[in-house]
Structure 1
Amino acid sequence: MTAPSGNDPRPTFARALDQAERQAASVRPDELDNRTPCADYDVRALLGHLVSVLNKLARVGAGADASEVPDVLDDIDDIDDTAWAGAFHRARGEVERVWADDALLGQMVTLPWATLPGRVALDAYTHEFTAHSWDLAHATGRLDRLDPDLAVRALEAFSQFAPPEMRSEQGPFGPVVAVPDDAEVYSRLAAYLGRQP
């Protein structure tokens, strides 16, 4: 997954975070146990994963070790229906504060799964947040609130980064699911990632 040298991925990353934050803020307490198309997560766990990813991004941007952050945060008291939205918002604020430094875009950062230039890492996470926004929207019935341009970008990037022939049973993406060529773009993205749209 590549972001061209000199390209600033932060505006598109911010749009993906806007979308994910809207989804997180819309989740009701009675939806937290809903299953998502992402096999490992119900809605609560997926929200915990998204906040965790933001925490990891803030840490690597600050030169710290992201491996110390669990993949899913489970210490949010979600009796209050604004708890997850607040956790996401705070974590996002820290990411944006750290990554406001233009120099980070050209520096190598070490993530739990790769060492990449900062701009490439943000580009990759833009597409992860786009895919997980669909997961949340699918699980809670809010598919009409998604930005199709983000899905077009994510589908193009995942087609390069995760071609079907390079997948394995242990990887994060299952076999491509067949959908009609004229299916809407989020359905095509989900199917490409091995989810049932």
Structure 2
Amino acid sequence: MTTADTVDPRPLYTRATAQAAELIATVRPDRLSGPTPCAEYDVRTLLSHIVGGTLRIAVVGEGGDGLAVRMFVDGVADDGWPGAYDEIRTRVLRAWSGDERMTSPVRVPWGNIPGRDALSAYVMEIVAHTWDLSEGLGRPLALDPELAEFSLAAARVALPDGPREGRPFDPALPAPEGADAYGRLAAWLGRGPLGAAR
């Protein structure tokens, strides 16, 4: 199994952002107020968080202080989300293209860690939120299972099974019987399919 310790996360992050971009391109303005598995986020708020989180890791990759970046963006037109994400996606991939960034320490909300570990965590972040968005949109596209397997392995290392004080994740839930990698990842992150009983 691939893990954050044994693989360069950059190709996976590139694939994960491409998958997110393809999904975001399907969002119609009339779906922006719809629910997602993140109970506090409708589709618009989730998109704002996806773009803001991607901006944060772009700034980190550029050597800046990601903690100074808000995790949500404002001012995006209803039909402007694909363009907003494509713009920041281009920036983040450029910021992380150099090998030196993989071993250099970077500052992220949970501490100062090597760039490789930070980017691996952001693979998990974008993959999880792509699943959230997919659920909110009625699963319009098939999602890449390898990305979910990598993200689940990273999540099991980064997040304890039990109370998660100070972390933006609920305790892990049991995965539904027969759940695919995305279902298992969502359960480990404390959420289930849209409309599932909690």
In the superposition, the TM-score normalised over structure 2's length comes to: 0.89
Structure-1 separation of matches of 2:170 and 2:140: 22
Name the amino acid aligned to 1:3. Answer: A
Structure-2 separation of matches of 1:31 and 1:101: 38
Runs (4+) off by over 3 Å:
none
1:49-68 matched pairs, under 5 angstroms: 49-68=49-68
Structure-1 separation of matches of 2:171 and 2:163: 10
Q: Is the Cα–Cα contact under 8 Å of residues 134 and 143 in structure 1 kept in the other structure?
A: no
Shift of 1:54: 1.6
1:25 corresponds to which residue?
A: 25
Shift of 1:143: 5.6
Q: Is the Cα–Cα contact under 8 Å of residues 162 and 172 in structure 2 kept in the other structure?
A: no
Q: In the superposition, relative to structure 1, how do residues 28 and 133 fare at CA in structure 2: closer, same or farther (>3 Å)? A: same
1:61-140 matched pairs, under 5 angstroms: 61-78=61-78, 81=79, 83-140=80-137
Structure-1 separation of matches of 2:171 and 2:65: 32
Provide the aligned length of Structure 1 versus Structure 2. 191
SS for the counterpart of 2:171 is coil
Residues 112-164 of structure 1, C-alpha deviation per residue, up to 9 Å, x if partnerless? Answer: 33211111111110011110000000000126421111111111221221122
SS for the counterpart of 1:3 is coil
Name the amino acid aligned to 1:155. Answer: L
Shift of 1:25: 1.0
Most deviating of 140-149 and 27-36? 140-149
Structure-2 separation of matches of 1:180 and 1:56: 33
Name the amino acid aligned to 1:177. Answer: L
Structure-1 separation of matches of 2:155 and 2:116: 16
Q: CA RMSD, aligned part only? A: 1.8
Structure-2 separation of matches of 1:39 and 1:171: 16
Name the amino acid aligned to 1:17. Answer: T
Q: Find the partner of 1:178 among 168, 174, 180.
A: 174
In the superposition, the TM-score normalised over structure 1's length comes to: 0.89
Structure-2 separation of matches of 1:4 and 1:178: 26
1:167 corresponds to which residue?
A: 164
Structure-2 separation of matches of 1:67 and 1:163: 23
Q: In the superposition, relative to structure 1, how do residues 191 and 4 fare at CA in structure 2: closer, same or farther (>3 Å)? A: closer
Q: Is the Cα–Cα contact under 8 Å of residues 109 and 116 in structure 1 kept in the other structure?
A: yes
SS for the counterpart of 1:110 is strand
Shift of 1:102: 1.4
Shift of 1:184: 2.0
Q: Percent identity?
A: 45
The gaps in structure 1 that reach 5 residues or longer are none
